A and B are shown apart, each in its own frame.
Chain A
Amino acid sequence: DVKVTQSSRYLVKRTGEKVFLECVQDMDHENMFWYRQDPGLGLRLIYFSYDVKMKEKGDIPEGYSVSREKKERFSLILESASTNQTSMYLCASRDGNTIYFGEGSWLTVV
């Protein structure tokens, strides 16, 4: 089975903090993705990576950056967290034409 693991399920951070969300997949997938999910807005793509050290902006990259130093790990970084980044964050990786998701990370910025 494909396994996508997000290290933190629930986080509470203060405004202005730097936040790291970590995602690991164990299937040697090249493509990995970060989405955020908000009520009424559905799932929106923040960033994706198609190989180590390679990244592309998605639909809503503002306020975020990413890091892909190793193939299995794709990190989402909030340089200075703000309350409008309170959301559920979903990591995913691609196997052939199918994308598999992690369990999600609930981030609250206070």
Chain B
Amino acid sequence: GDSVTQMEGPVTLSEEAFLTINCTYTATGYPSLFWYVQYPGEGLQLLLKATKADDKGSNKGFEATYRKETTSFHLEKGSVQVSDSAVYFCALTESGGYNKLIFGAGTRLAVHP
């Protein structure tokens, strides 16, 4: 079935460093792809999404491009802040059916001043 694999954390960076969190997927159809962010003690917030190949999702300085040829949706940010410290989840909507979300395991990001 469909699945999502993302890089293990934790990722530890200094403020203003460049961030990449890798995400690859396996899907039989043409899923939509998502990044969600979870701050400590809170639920998941939608960060960005892309619905078809070569689409770029962006929000709050974060970007990710839907790469069908490499089945990837890597999350990037040019200059991270302490406030970006959170857990990031890559996800896709299941092909067909009721479009359930399938999540990666999550990657914890810690940004230090």
A: residues with CB less than 8 A from B are 6, 31, 33, 42-43, 45, 48, 50, 56, 58, 90, 92, 94, 97-104
Residues of A with C-beta under 8 A to B32: 97-98
- Whether the Cβ atoms of B98 and A97 lie closer than 8 Å is no
Among B18-26, B37-45, B59-67, B77-85, the stretch that binds chain A is: B37-45
Please give me the residue from chain B that is nearest to A6 by CB atom: B43
| Shortest beta-carbon distance from A9 to chain B in Å | 9
Please give me the residue from chain B that is nearest to A58 by CB atom: B100
Contact indicator per residue, chain B 35-73, by CB within 8 Å of chain A (1) or not (0)? 010000011111001010000000000000000000000
- Whether the Cβ atoms of B51 and A31 lie closer than 8 Å is no
Contact of B100 among A6, A33, A42, A104 (CB under 8 A): A33
Residues of B with C-beta under 8 A to A31: 98-99
- Whether the Cβ atoms of B43 and A90 lie closer than 8 Å is yes
Contact of B106 among A42, A45, A94, A103 (CB under 8 A): A42
Residues of B with C-beta under 8 A to A45: 100-101
Contacts A42-B105, A43-B89; is A101 near B100 (CB within 8 Å)? Answer: no
Contacts A42-B106, A43-B89, A48-B98; is A97 near B51 (CB within 8 Å)? Answer: yes
- Whether the Cβ atoms of B44 and A90 lie closer than 8 Å is yes
What are 9 of the A-B contact pairs (CB < 8 Å)? A50-B98, A90-B44, A97-B99, A99-B34, A99-B46, A99-B93, A101-B36, A102-B43, A103-B42
- Which 7 A/B pairs are nearest by Cβ-Cβ distance? A104-B43, A103-B43, A101-B44, A101-B43, A43-B103, A97-B32, A42-B105
